[in-house]
Structure 1
Amino acid sequence: MDLEKGPREEPGGEGRLAVALRVPVRIVVLVLVVPVRMVWDALVVAGRFLGDRMFRPVGRALLWVGRALLWVGRAVLVWPFVALWRWVLVPLWRWVLVPLGVALRWLGTVLVVVPAAALYRWVLTPLGHAAVWFCARVLTPLGRGLFVVPAVWLYRWVLTPVGHALLWCGRGLAWLGSLLVTGIGTALYWTVRVLVVLPVYAVWRRLLAPVGRALAVVAREVGAAFGHAWRIAGYISLAVGRALAVFFRWTLVEPARWVYRTVLTPVGHAVRDAVLRPVAEAARSVGRVTRDALRSVRVTARQVRRDVRRALGMPAGPAGIGTREKRPAGR
């Protein structure tokens, strides 16, 4: 059986632990999984039946209803706006707003753009050239003599020596700080290594790693047991389902089929041949006799009416009565 099959025995403590746990764990898991698998298979069968017999027709009906609502929504919401856009807004835009925009653009060009271009060309451009010439000829030498030459002298003879001195001091301070940090870091490293790392490593190697390996073996065996139990429960559920199907077939379906074929069908045929067909033939015969009698009564009444009119000297009747009475009955 699948309960006795498993991976090859591994050497060491983990293999012996796996062999010791395999069979009990698989038995317990099989007992727990079989009802769950049977309930799952029953739910799957019920879901398929409901999907084929109820959900799919309801979905199709809802699809048709959605299509109808979509068509109604288009007819109520979309098509009026499309017609408004096509027959009102587009002609308004094409024949009113576009010519108005062209006229406003021409008016703006005449009233704004042309004067602005003339102002820029004949007023602002000469003023700009004059300002550039003044700055280049007057302000540039004055600014160079008042600001640039003193600033260069100050940078070269004052700021540069002070910056070199500050840079040398900063390098010395950085070297001193790195020396202090290195010493403190080394001391902290050995302190943490001796007080924290080595004890944690010992606890991990001697305690946590063996416990973790044991838990991994237990988890692996439990997972494998669940897999085997689920497959075996599937076979058991299939066998139970087939047994129930055979039971219901021979206790309900086959007796009902036998009663229908042996009792109800002959009784129905007998009722049809002995009662329904004679009643139908009699009804048709009565209908034919009734129609013939009514036809004879109508012909007799017409003849009597015609004889009475002739005896009283009255005309035969409105046009077409006499010809209709003399017309052959087959036409």
Structure 2
Amino acid sequence: MVDLEKAPDAGPREEPVRRSDAEGCLAVAVRIPVRIVVLVLVVPVRIVWDVLVVVGRFLRDTVLRPVGRALAWLGRAVFVWPLVGLWRYVVVPLAKGVGWLGQVLLVVPAVWLYRWVLTPVGHGLAWFFTRVGVVLAAIGRGLYAGLAWLGRYLLVVPAAWLYRWLLTPVGHALAWCGRGLVWCGRQVARGVGLVVTGLGFVLYWTVRVLLVLPALAVWRWVLTPVGRALSVVGREVADALGHAWRIAGHLSRAVGRFLGTVLRWTVAEPARWVYRSVLTPVGHAVRDAVLRPLAEAGRVAGRAARQALVSARLSVRQARADVRRMLFGGPAGWRPVDGREPSAAEARTLGSSTTALTKD
């Protein structure tokens, strides 16, 4: 059997974009020196940029953010909360009171006036003007018929006669004259057009020979090669800046990590070792040998001072009572009240009718 199916067409192949030999040589000649110079210039800039970024983040986290939060809280405390309180406890109640007064003093009287005064008066006026309107409509129809008859025989009929027998012949004559003038104007315009066309043809070739062709030659043989060279140089400079910025980033990161490691092993780790191995035991010893005994002695002295103050206060109070007794005498005598419960013999029993209060 014959295979009638055709193999799928692979389609047109896209050819790679080829550069001219001059552009390739220029790119190769410019690329390496430009990248070296740009790398030397960009590395310090990138290091300074990374340092500024770190300093900015530190300032943002330690200074600007707390200051911003404090200013936000101060703004709320100074402006927002007083305004909210003023709105909630002054403006809203005042507005509700004004609304209630407006409803009582304006809305209710206006509704009453509309319902019981204006509505009946309006119905009466509507009935009156309806009757008057019927009469006026009849009079108006009569006047309209009379005015229409007068207008027809005083204006329309004379105007139609004037249009038919006077204006129409005059218009035909003017139209014939106008057609003649238009034909003359067309002939004159045709002659002027020929003159202008000739002048334009001459000016076109003059400008083309003197301006366009030299400008086209300059564009094609001078500006285009120079522009291509400058575009190659600019592209290589941009690529070099990108590569240099990335390489400077890696170098800056490596330098930062090296400096961080140096600071860690020269400052942070010795400080941590001194804190753990020296300052912490010394602090514990000072706390156990000096601070705790001093605190205990302070607590004992405080208790002794409080007890002395209590004793002094009691002594002063007793002395004041003695002086008052010497000057004004002691208080009046008092008789103790027997608050004890009655005995079993004096208490009320079930077989007797007397109680401890009525017994002789």
Answer yes or no: same fold by TM over 0.5.
yes
Task: Name which of 139, 145, 158 aligns with 2:155.
Answer: 139
Once the 2 structures are TM-superposed, how far is the Cα of residue 10 of structure 1 from its aligned partner? 5.1
Once the 2 structures are TM-superposed, how far is the Cα of residue 15 of structure 1 from its aligned partner? 1.1
- Mapped partners of 1:241, 1:9: distance in 2: 43
- Mapped partners of 2:177, 2:152: distance in 1: 35
Task: Map Cα deviations across residues 268-289 of structure 1 (whole Å, 9 max, x no partner).
Answer: 1001111122233334445556
Q: Is 1:243 matched with 2:247? A: no
Q: Which residue of 2 aligns with 1:70?
A: 80
Change (3 A) 1:10 1:188: closer
- Mapped partners of 2:116, 2:189: distance in 1: 76
Task: Name which of 70, 92, 108 aligns with 1:95.
Answer: 108
* SS across alignment from 1:271: helix
- Mapped partners of 1:297, 1:203: distance in 2: 116
Letter in 2 for 1:203: V
User: Which is higher, the Rg of structure 1 or of structure 2?
Assistant: 2
- Mapped partners of 1:162, 1:95: distance in 2: 81
Task: Map Cα deviations across residues 64-93 of structure 1 (whole Å, 9 max, x no partner).
Answer: 333341332344478755545433254244
Change (3 A) 1:28 1:170: same
Q: Which residue of 2 aligns with 1:328?
A: none
Q: Which residue of 1 aligns with 2:187?
A: 172
Once the 2 structures are TM-superposed, how far is the Cα of residue 105 of structure 1 from its aligned partner? 6.2
Change (3 A) 1:81 1:116: farther
- Mapped partners of 1:104, 1:149: distance in 2: 67
Once the 2 structures are TM-superposed, how far is the Cα of residue 314 of structure 1 from its aligned partner? 6.9
Once the 2 structures are TM-superposed, how far is the Cα of residue 110 of structure 1 from its aligned partner? 8.2
- Mapped partners of 2:318, 2:96: distance in 1: 74
Matches within 5 A, 1:28-107: 28-68=37-77, 69-76=79-86, 80=90, 82-89=92-99, 90-91=102-103, 92-96=105-109
- Mapped partners of 2:175, 2:296: distance in 1: 133
Once the 2 structures are TM-superposed, how far is the Cα of residue 161 of structure 1 from its aligned partner? 0.9
Q: Which residue of 2 aligns with 1:151?
A: 167
Q: Is 1:211 matched with 2:220? A: no
Q: Is 1:15 matched with 2:24? A: yes
Task: Map Cα deviations across residues 153-181 of structure 1 (whole Å, 9 max, x no partner).
Answer: 322x2122122212222322332232222
Letter in 1 for 2:55: A
- Mapped partners of 1:293, 1:85: distance in 2: 65
Segments of structure 1 that go 5 or more residues without pairing to the other structure are: 1-7, 320-331
Aligned CA-pair RMSD: 4.0
Q: Is 1:276 matched with 2:291? A: yes
Q: Which stretch shows the higher mean deviation, 183-192 or 77-86?
A: 77-86
Q: Which stretch shows the higher mean deviation, 99-108 or 269-278?
A: 99-108
Change (3 A) 1:101 1:169: farther
The answer as to whether partners of 1:25 and 1:222 remain within 8 angstroms in 2 is: yes
Once the 2 structures are TM-superposed, how far is the Cα of residue 300 of structure 1 from its aligned partner? 10
- Mapped partners of 2:52, 2:237: distance in 1: 26
Change (3 A) 1:229 1:93: farther
The answer as to whether partners of 1:9 and 1:15 remain within 8 angstroms in 2 is: no
- Percentage of pairs with the same residue: 49
Count of residue pairs brought into register by the alignment: 306
Change (3 A) 1:288 1:65: closer
Letter in 1 for 2:50: D
Please give the TM-score of this superposition, normalised by the length of structure 1.
0.75
Q: Which residue of 2 aligns with 1:5?
A: none
The answer as to whether partners of 1:9 and 1:19 remain within 8 angstroms in 2 is: no
- Mapped partners of 2:234, 2:173: distance in 1: 77
Once the 2 structures are TM-superposed, how far is the Cα of residue 25 of structure 1 from its aligned partner? 0.9
Change (3 A) 1:93 1:257: farther
- Mapped partners of 2:145, 2:97: distance in 1: 57
Matches within 5 A, 1:221-236: 221-236=236-251
Change (3 A) 1:48 1:295: closer
